[in-house]
Amino acid sequence: MHDNIRNSRLAGPNTRAVHGGQHVDPSTGAVTTPIYATSTFVQQAPGVHKGYEYARSQNPTRAAFEAAIADAERGHAAFAFASGLAAEAAILDLAPHGSHVVASEDLYGGSWRLFHRVRNHSANLEATHVDPADPAAIRAAIRPNTAFIWIETPSNPLLRLADLEAVAAIGREHGVLTVVDNTFASPAVQRPLEHDIDIVVHSVTKYIGGHSDIVGGAIVVRDAELEQKLAFLQNATGGILDPFSSFLALRGIKTLPLRMQRHGDNALAIARWLEAHPRVERVIYPGLQSHPQHDLATRQMSNGGGMVAAYLKADEQQTVEVLKRFRLIALAESLGAVESLVGQPWTMSHGSLPEADRLARGIRPNLIRLSIGIEDVEDLTEDLEQALAII
């Protein structure tokens, strides 16, 4: 928990997760950063203080989490927000009115809604959706006013991958900022900044928090210029992460590598089990050799992650009945927690997309998305078996 850990090449991922960017509390010697539930801080003289003046601008608990996630992503600096979408909105604030974004065609429904139903109206933002695995398509979509290339890898919900180094190279070539939503992988599985991406965004609610008990977002940047711009925007727009959630997110970071290894091991086992199941049409998981981008996954991810998508041999009503039958796996929004969750993107995570767009992206009523937790695999497969038996 010392400064030398942050830049040490000797510190392994678990050591960095526990100690990276952290300091012993100076006032008490506490090993864990306390929850500083205070709105303001005493100044020795006007403008002279200990680095903290007002809790929207700075908070020690939030700062500790930001240092930890910056270290986890090997970034220059990080900023914590009240939700993943609040973090995404702050990134969009970097761009002038009337800008354009080239975005993944397989995109989280909330991001699509933010681009098309909020910022198109309020900031005249335009978005073009392309296959992020196709460099030619990305290049062809870039306009003079393009501010961002914005991708998810793996994507939500179909787990498509993008070559991070190829995307970063296109961004540098055209002078466009590259943004990667790393929520589905987490920095324990993939670190886009190490592939020259400019900005990483997370829903902290998911794997980083990891326990279904907080909502939060984070941005990690690669250089000082972006740090200055995001620091201004975080303070100016005010969508900050509160101290208690920051404390829980910091706790989550410390066990992230251990949890992600278990998530990945379990997800691979479940994906293989589903692939052999007679009631399953198709399984999508980067760790499977059947995934069309499996080789890319092995190059830029430490494992296949904890998310599995599957098309059932079922109609819409049968799919709904399967989802209602789960006993251990919870039918719920969100993902990335220690408990396994299941959802139907058609009506849940991507329900805000127009039906034609959902169908064009391969989001059909018989698609289910599984967030595989850290339970025993045998219990998960037993629950899957009894739920699928209705088909």
pLDDT bin (cut points 50, 70, 90) of residue 210 is very high
Domain stops at, among 232, 252, 272: 252
Quick check: is 76 in a domain? yes
Q: What is the pLDDT of residue 3?
A: 47
What CA–CA distances, in Å, run from 127 to 107, 114, 238? 12, 11, 25
Residue 292 has pLDDT above 70, yes or no: yes
pLDDT for res 9: 57
Considering only residues 20 and 124, tell me which one the structure prediction assigns the higher pLDDT: 124
CATH of the domain at 144: 3.40.640.10
Q: Is the per-residue pLDDT at 219 higher than 80?
A: yes
Answer yes or no: is 2 within a domain. no
pLDDT in tens, 35-61: 999 999 999 999 899 888 999 999 999
Between the alpha carbon of residue 16 and those of residues 89, 187, 257, 316, the distances in Å are 29, 11, 10, 45
Same domain for 335 and 221:
no
- Catalytic annotation, pick one of 206, 358, 361, 369: 206
Residue 28 is predicted with a pLDDT of 86
Claim to verify: residue 148 and residue 186 sit in the same structural domain = yes
Residue with tokens 């972006």: 226
Residue in 108, 160, 222, 383 annotated catalytic: 108
The pLDDT score that the predictor gives to residue 10 is 56
Instruction: State which residues form the domain around 152.
Output: 13-252
Average pLDDT in the 78-97 region?
Answer: 98
**Spatial strand order in the sheet of 280-284:** 280-284, 307-312, 367-371, 341-343, 330-331
Catalytic residue among 6, 56, 282, 364: 56
**For the residues 141-161, what does the mean pLDDT come to?**
97
Strand residue runs (E) in the chain: 77-81, 100-104, 126-130, 146-152, 177-181, 199-203, 217-221, 280-284, 307-312, 330-331, 341-343, 367-371
In the prediction, which pLDDT does 13 show?
87
Q: Is 206 a catalytic residue?
A: yes
The 10s digit of each residue's pLDDT in 263-288 is 999 999 999 999 999 999 999 999 99
- CA angle, 133 as apex, 167 and 310 as ends, to 5°? 135
The predicted model gives 357-370 an average pLDDT of 95
The confidence band for 146, taking pLDDT boundaries of 50, 70 and 90, is: very high
pLDDT in tens, 236-256: 999 999 999 999 999 999 999
Domain membership of residue 6 (yes or no) is no
How sure is the predictor about 8, in pLDDT bands with cuts at 50, 70 and 90?
A: low
Asked whether residue 301 falls in the same domain as residue 371, the answer is yes
Q: Are 151 and 162 in contact (CB under 8 A)?
A: yes
Mean pLDDT of 84-102: 98
At 175 the pLDDT is 98
**Active site includes 108?**
yes
CB 346 within 8 A of CB 352: no
- For strands 100-104 and 126-130, give the pairing: parallel
Query: How does residue 1 score in pLDDT terms, banded at 50, 70 and 90?
Result: very low
Q: Looking at the structure, tell me whether residues 130 and 153 fall in a common domain.
A: yes
pLDDT at residue 286 in the model: 98
Q: Do 229 and 265 sit in the same domain of this protein?
A: no
> In 3-state terms, what secondary structure has residue 200?
strand
Asked if residue 4 is part of any domain, the answer here is no
pLDDT band, very low/low/confident/very high, at 4 (cuts 50, 70, 90): very low
**Looking at residue 384, which CATH number applies to its domain?**
3.90.1150.10
Does the structure show a pLDDT above 70 at 297? Answer: yes
For residues 17 and 257, is the Cβ–Cβ distance under 8 A?
Answer: yes
pLDDT tens figures, 328-355: 999 999 999 999 999 999 999 888 888 9
Final residue of a structural domain among 214, 231, 252: 252
Cα distance between residue 84 and residue 68, in whole Å: 17
Choosing from 71, 181, 198, 383, the catalytic residue is 181
What is the count of structural domains for the chain? 2
- Which of 206, 231, 252 is the last residue before a domain boundary? 252
Q: Is residue 105 part of a domain?
A: yes
